[in-house]
Every structure is written in C-alpha cells, then in structure tokens.
Amino acid sequence: MTKTLIASKIKQPTFLPMTREEMDWLGWDRPDILLVSGDSYIDHPSFGIPLLGRVLTAHGYKVALVCQPDWKDTKDIEALGRPRLYAGVSAGALDSMLSHYTSFRKKRSDDAYTPGGKAGARPNRACIIYTNLIKKAFKGLPVVMGGIEASLRRISHYDFWTEKIRKTILMDSKADLLIYGMGERAMLEAADRLSEADEPSGATLRGINGTAFMGKIEDIPADAEVIELPSHQDILDDPQMLMKATLLLEEQVHYGKAWAIQKTDSRYVVITPPAIYLNTNELDWLYTLPFARLPHPSYDEKGRIPAAEMIEFSITSHRGCGGGCSFCSIAMHQGRHIRSRSKKSILSEAAGMNSHSHFRGSISDIGGPSANMWNAKCSVEREKCKRKSCLVPNICPNFKYDQKANLDLLKQTRNLDGIKHVRVASGVRFDLGLKDRTSLREIFKEFVGGQLKVAPEHISPEVLKHMRKPDLPVFESFLELFEVETKNAGKNQYVIPYLMSAFPGCTDADMRMLADWLKAKGWSPKQVQCFIPTPGTVATAMYYTGTTPDGERIFVAKTDAQRLKQHGILIPDATRDPRSIRYKDKQTKPEKNTKKDISKDFKGNKKFKGKSKTEPFSKKNKKR
C-alpha cells in the first residue's frame, strides 16, 4: 500500500536554511538531508528542490539547501556538515547543457535562474559534477539525483554536444539512485528507508518506484513484468536500437506497471515502475505548504532573478500533458495522464496572494504544461492504453475534458476580492479549445493580456506528423476565431507563434512553405527555435537515426550549414552569425572570439572541434 504524502502540520522556517547561521538559529547541528541545486533558491512551488524540501520538512526531516555551489572544490558542499541520511542532487529546472548552449552550440550569456540573470553559476553536466563533489566530501553518503537532466539520461542517450552515445548518467556520476519523473514519493521513501535501516547504504534505496539504479537482474522481483531495452553496445552497433530503446522507455512510462532493464558493459540499469501519481488531495496539500514565493534573502544584493519574477504570481493547476509531442520531455517526465488540483485549492492559493507584499492584483497564469487541460481525465485504465498521444492524430474519445469548467475556474478566480486580472499567457492547446468555441471566445475576450503564445511549431503536414502536432487547418481555425473575437472586443492583442526549424524530417522546401505562409499572414517572426536534440525524446532518436519511429527514412539537417540554412529561411540574418540574432533561446550577443575552439567545454570528447558531422555513426558502424 502506498503511503500518503499528506503530513500533519509542522512549523517550518520562512526559508529552508542555506547557511550555518540559519541552521544554528534552528538549533540544528547538521541536516538530515542536503539538497544541492544548479538553480538559485526561489521558495516557490514551481521549483523542484524547494518543493521537495518543503515536503520532506513537513514529514519531520531537517532539510538544508546548497544552491549553485562552487564546483571547483568541496567547501560549499561541506559548509553545512555531513547530512545524517542522504544528499539529493538536481541540475535545476533546465538541463545544464541546454541552459548553457544555444542550438548552434554557442555559449549563452544569460541564465534566468541566477541572480543578475548571468550565465556561469553552474557547471556543464551539473548532476555529474555535484554528485562527484558530494562523494568526495562525504565518503559513503548515499546520493540521490533527480530532475529533468538526470531523468532523461537514465539510459544510454544521444548527446548533441559531443555527438556521441553516452552511457546512463548513473555510471558517469556514480550516484546511488536516480529518481525519474516527479519525485515527492521517491524522495520521502528514500528518507524513510535510510532512517529506519540498521545499516543504511545506497543499496537500501533499491526498488523504490519511480527510480533507477545500477544493479543486476536478480534485483527485480521474480513475478515482475520486465521490458528489456537494447543494450548500450547494441545502440553503438546499430543506431536504430536507440529508436527502439526510446519507444520502449516511453511505453514503460505510460504503461505504469513494468520494470525495465538495460545492459551496460557487464552491469544493468534497473528501472522500477513509475511512481504512483499524486491524487487530488495530495496535490492540494502540496500547495498549503508555507512557500515565501520569493528568492532567498541572501540574493538581495546580487540582482534580480528573472525566473522568480516570471512565476511569482502564477498558479499550477495540474500536472501531466496528453499532447505527447515527439520533441517534448514533459510527457516523459510528468507523464501523459492529467492530475489536477481541486478548484477549492486553486481559489485558496489565489486568495492567499493578497497577503503578499509584492502582489498588485494580477495573476500571470493558471495552468500546467498546457493551459487548458485542467480536470481532463482518461476513462481507460492507465495500463490498458498504449497511445503515444491523447490528442494526435485525433483527440482520443477516452480523453474527457471540459473547457467550460476551465473557463469557470478562471472567472471564479478573477472574482475573488483583491484580484484584478487573471491571464492565460501561453500553452493553450488550440485543438482542445476549438471543441468549445463559446468558452474559447470568452477566454480571448477576457483573459488574454495583449499577447497569447501558442505552439503550432510548423505548418508542413509531414513535419507536423513527425512532431505529433495538430494539422494546419486546426491552427488556422483557431487564428480566425481569435482575430474575430479580438476585433469584436475592440482589443489590441496578438498571437505569438512558437516556430521551429531543422526538425527531423523537415526539408528546405518545408521551411520555404512556412516562410510563404508567414508572409501571407504579414508575420515577421522574431523568435524561432532551431531544433535541439535533447536526451530521451523520440525526436532526438529521429535525429540520430534519420528515420521515423516506423522506420521510414527522412531527411535530417545535421551540419551547422544545413541547420543555419533552414533557420535563415525564416530569419535571414541568422545565416550571418547565429550568436547575433535574438532567438527564442535569448542569445543576445556574439562572443568576441567567433573562432573559439569549444571542444574543451565538452568533457570526454577529445576529437570534437565544434563542427557537426553529417552522420551520427563511425565508418565502422555505418549501417542504415
């Protein structure tokens, strides 16, 4: 039986301690659990480490944080003392490599999760570096890693920055346990197990749902259903095996009951079934925890933290996304099934914002990975469905959603005392919205604050199919309705489309088709993302193999020249120097030395000289 996450109320500090002085004030000689993060400490439920810290504290554990430590020595890690139970590690809200480098492998100058908004406060491959620091500082201490960087690297994966297949991050980091997906249950069970064990060690943590560890086949229960993934060597020998492994892992996450294993050298990555999702009562409880909704006071003199301002007065209404876009990690991390908070909980959080000194009456966003999937449900048991997407190629009849209920939630929130504005800023699934045009019209008229960001990504039928996105006529119907209702309301507001170049299967002709469509609309895009193959997604497997999941050969723009050419079709200036253009990834200025050899930035890749290869495999293994 799964232990409930809900705990009785325990008085918590305004901020979790980050210094020895704060620990002394609390009367602690050392923490039970030390959480290390690549982000600065923003005490807000939208950030994983603060959320987990609050949950563990509510269950009686002493939790201290080390955020953005110096990674060149162990002094910051050691400052708060050896934790009694374990250390937890996260690279932060973003993959550290994605945080540091643009689509063209150029260093970014900004970091939204750092005081002053400047890059450089975290290392490349932060999970590996932080784990190594902890292992060096505290011999024998169990280390648990989680977050998006670790989660999507739990098996062999393609690394865009070195153009290599890398082994599971468990082997590179030597962490004792990797938590994938949302980590509240696993983090709490890890603490409980170690607290109760006579001889606690990393082995004590094996078998917790929603985790992975280096082990052996015998670690799996004899009666368990097991999915065997292609081995690391299989993937090195045959690139198509990466696609197979990715699809099998996607199936394991969505199915929810099977274990998975992958042989790596003479050992195995053992992956337990996904953690049981939090129910509505548990989600509601999370948001009763005493978050300050502010950065830690130690940052007051270090400059603003852009991410803190962006989400300060936003509300998370649900987890999970039924879209299943092939390039998006959300379905693999949060899951495809929607878990929603109650209306009462959301209204209570909104009403409570009035007591915040910074609040001026505007709630910037209410939503989750998508804006309009709150309270959506699947009428089929999780283990009986193997669809990759609830919405593509068509909306599944078992996917139950109520757009009017979502609209009513927005209205009731706006009608609370002290609330002047409630915005829907981004993430609207236009295919769902169009199923209830009456509700969508009201959202356009009453809840858009000038700009509505949506993600058509492309218009080419083939590219949209590869992306698992709705067809162009659906988006055009959405735009038509938006334009009509905006005009009728006498408002000055716009749709801002997220667009992508160089997606696997996208040709130059597809990009010209998109450019012509934009020209006909009178749109001149300022923010276009060139596809980045991040670990663990189906789109990355397509990029690496040059095939669709069905084995169909597709064109893939892989060299810098090919990628820049496609990008330049939408943003002509991008062909001059990708570092001087304002992308969606916010790289704003070029580095002084444009011929810099960046190979030293990528650990373990001695041959890489900053140039893309045409093919992802060596001559020895050059098979299709």
Residues placed in the known binding site: 321, 325, 328
> What secondary structure does DSSP assign to 263-294, as a single string?
EETTEEEEEPPPPPPP-HHHHHHHTTS----E
Q: What is the DSSP letter of 162?
A: T
- Plot region of 200 (φ>0 → left; ψ -120 to 50 → alpha; else → beta): beta
**DSSP code per residue over 547-572:** B-TT--B-----SHHHHHHHHHHHSG
Q: Measured between alpha carbons, how far is residue 209 from residues 82, 180, 245, 259, 405 in Å?
A: 27, 9, 20, 9, 33
Token code pair at residue 345: 């909980």
Backbone phi and psi for residue 489, each to the nearest 5 degrees, phi listed first:
-85, -10
User: Could you give the CA distance from residue 254 to residue 273 in angstroms, rounded to a whole number?
Assistant: 10
180 CB-near residues (< 8 Å, 6+ apart): 146, 150, 151, 154, 210, 211, 212, 271, 274, 333
Q: Which residues is 415 bridged to in the sheet?
A: none
* Contact by Cβ (8 Å): 185, 5: yes
Token couple for 561: 């020249």
Residue type, 115: P
In 209-263, which ranges are continuous DSSP H helix?
232-237, 240-255
* Closest CA relative to residue 178, chosen from 211, 219, 142: 211
- Which helix (H) or strand (E) segment is 166 a member of? strand 164-166
Residue set of the binding site for [4Fe-4S] cluster: 321, 325, 328
Omega of the bond leading into 45 within 30 degrees of 0 (cis): no
| Contact assessment for residue 252 and residue 258, using Cβ atoms and an 8 Å cutoff | yes
Contacts (Cβ under 8 Å, ≥6 apart) of 219: 206, 207, 213, 270
SS3 assignment, position 84: coil
The DSSP line for 325-388 is: -TT-SHHHHT-SS-EE--HHHHHHHHHHGGGSTT--SEE-EEESSSSS-TT-EESS-GGG---S
> Which of 229, 190, 192 has its CA nearest to residue 206?
190
Report whether 253 contacts 240 (CB < 8 A).
no
Per DSSP, the three-state class of 576 is coil
Q: What is the DSSP letter of 2?
A: P
Q: How many helices and strands (H and E) does the chain possess?
A: 22, 24
509 touches 555 (CB < 8 A): no
Q: How far apart are the C-alpha atoms of 518 and 70, rounded to whole Å?
A: 46
Which letter does DSSP use for residue 575 in this model? G
Give the whole-angstrom CA distance, residue 13 versus residue 153: 34
Please choose, from the candidates 496, 495, 404, 395, the residue with its C-alpha nearest in 3D space to the C-alpha of residue 441: 404
